[in-house]
Amino acid sequence: MVLRSKFVGPFFVDCRSNCQPVLQNILDCDMKPISDLLKILELDQLTETRFRGESKDIGSKYIFGGQVLAQGLNAATRTVPEGRCVHSLHGYFILPGDLKTPIEYEVDLIRDGRSFTTRRVVAFQKEKAIFNMSASFQKEEEGLDHQIEMLNVPPPDSLTSFIELAKKYAKMLNIKPTGLFAEDSPIDIRPVENINFLAPGKRPPFRHLWFRSNGKMDDLKNMHRYVLAYASDFNLLITALQPHGVSFFNKHLQIASLDHAIWIHRDFRADEWLLYAIDSPSASNARGFCRGSIFNREGQLVASVAQEGLIRLHPEK
């Protein structure tokens, strides 16, 4: 039996006994184009611990890793006691996902403690695991507070968006702008550094960019965390290419995320500008390692990210 969400007034309501609102009316035209992403991140509930989701084609051959991260986090969150929010997650990408096949997420209810809740999620397609994730949730608490400082960079309003850059490079590459480069991209990204996509040249492994959802979102805290998880998978691994002057569009390049971790430090809104400061400390053994610090416009560090990915540069034939 599929426990689908019901549309009631301005909310989509989760079909469980507590009937908490889980998604604002995503048909609201004021939320476009972020509404399309929120529809993809919403899941059908099959049982108390099993969920099903569809995929969105962003122009890649396989399912985008950030989508699986966000959907897996949604599945885990919907089994967690009220009042607890995710503070960390660690995911592994096992197999490439098929865009045309639904994904089923099985949640293992590891533990519900007095302050923390632990969940494990495995994503399946055609009975094969393509992704697994552990996530920890916590009640809000007061405690010691410190952070690193945010770099002083130009404000987002002064920068060119990926969408505008795409119009230039799409003509050069003779491709149709999709995903982040599409006019209806769910995430608005403004790179700080001016990078030539086709001939980037050798540069230090540092990258900074502003991002936010392309449209206003509801106040529901968890939904902002799903969108951040989705957006956090963009721009990380390509930072490891910079010291080598390799373009992401190099036809001999094979690149794929292997694992991904996120730590949430402070509350934030994904529909307000966030600065993603990325660096790549190392690349070796056909793998690149990257880190990211995410700040709000007030300079608060709201999240940290780490990822390792496969990077193979095949010889020309």
- CA separation for the pair 312, 207 (Å, rounded): 21
Q: Is 24 an annotated catalytic residue?
A: no
Q: Can you tell me the distance from the alpha carbon of 283 to that of 290, in angstroms, rounded to the nearest whole number?
A: 9
- Cα separation, 176 vs 225, in Å, equals 30
Residue 257 catalytic?
A: yes
280 an active-site residue? no
**294 contact partners, CB below 8 Å, separation of at least 6:** 228, 232, 268, 274, 275, 276, 277, 301, 302, 303, 304, 305
Cα separation of 196 and 84, whole Å? 43
- 299 in the Ramachandran plot: left (φ > 0), alpha (ψ -120 to 50) or beta? left
What pairs with residue 6 in β-bridges? 13
Measured on CA atoms in the order 305, 308, 310, 313, is the torsion positive or negative? positive
Q: Which of 14, 188, 218, 233 is catalytic?
A: 233
Per annotation, catalytic residue among 257, 280, 293, 304 = 257
| Residue in 67, 232, 304, 307 annotated catalytic | 307
Give the C-alpha separation, 309 to 99, whole Å: 20
Active centre residues (catalytic): 233, 257, 307
